Amino acid sequence: MRYFYDTEFIEDGRTIELVSIGIVAEDGREYYAVSTQFDSSKANAWVRANVLDKLPNPSSKVWKSADTIKREVYEFLTSTGPTPELWAWVGAYDHVLLAQMWGDMAGLPREIPRFTRELRQYWDMAGRPTLPELPNGNHDALIDARHNLAKFKVCMAALPLGKRDRVS
């Protein structure tokens, strides 16, 4: 099963802190959570204007502890069988945040891949087809994860049939 995800975060060049995560599975299931544990005072002006201002009301049930997010992400990614395939657009930070849910890389459960497939690179390999327009509300992790799935579908359609099979 392919999973397309995005994270929003606060970083200072030395540390990175999860704000929210959105994941969309190819079968249509979705997961979204906002961490109750990030320090908004560390956010730069861009994150304040483009991420924090778009978060749901803190009374929403999507606000969760880091332990709850970790447990739910694990259950979501492993619910349809072994070896989920992770995809993100320029996903280096996204993968670090995902892995750090379990501490260091050694703590990452075996069932979670040690890498995220790079959707931006896949777009280049597909010949840079025209991507869907940015959706309203981008920089919301779930909206961006949905957009990642849409971008993947455009790239798949742009590749010759034989090359599509070699993506996984």
- Taking the C-alpha atoms of residue 126 and residue 83, their distance in angstroms, rounded to an integer, is 24
Q: Check whether 27 is labelled as a binding-site residue.
A: no
For domain 1-165, give the CATH superfamily.
Ribonuclease H-like superfamily/Ribonuclease H (3.30.420.10)
If pLDDT is split at 50, 70 and 90, which confidence band does 167 have?
Answer: low
Sequence-separated (6 or more) residues with CB below 8 Å from residue 17: 9, 10, 11, 35, 38, 39, 42
pLDDT at 164: 53
Q: Give per-residue pLDDT as tens, 52-108.
A: 999 999 999 999 999 999 999 999 999 988 789 999 999 999 999 999 999 988 899
- The helix/strand/coil state of 35 is strand
d(CA 45, CA 51) in angstroms, rounded, equals: 10
Report the alpha-carbon distance of residue 168 to residue 98 in Å, rounded.
Answer: 20
Domain ranges of the chain: 1-165
| pTM reported for the whole predicted model | 0.92
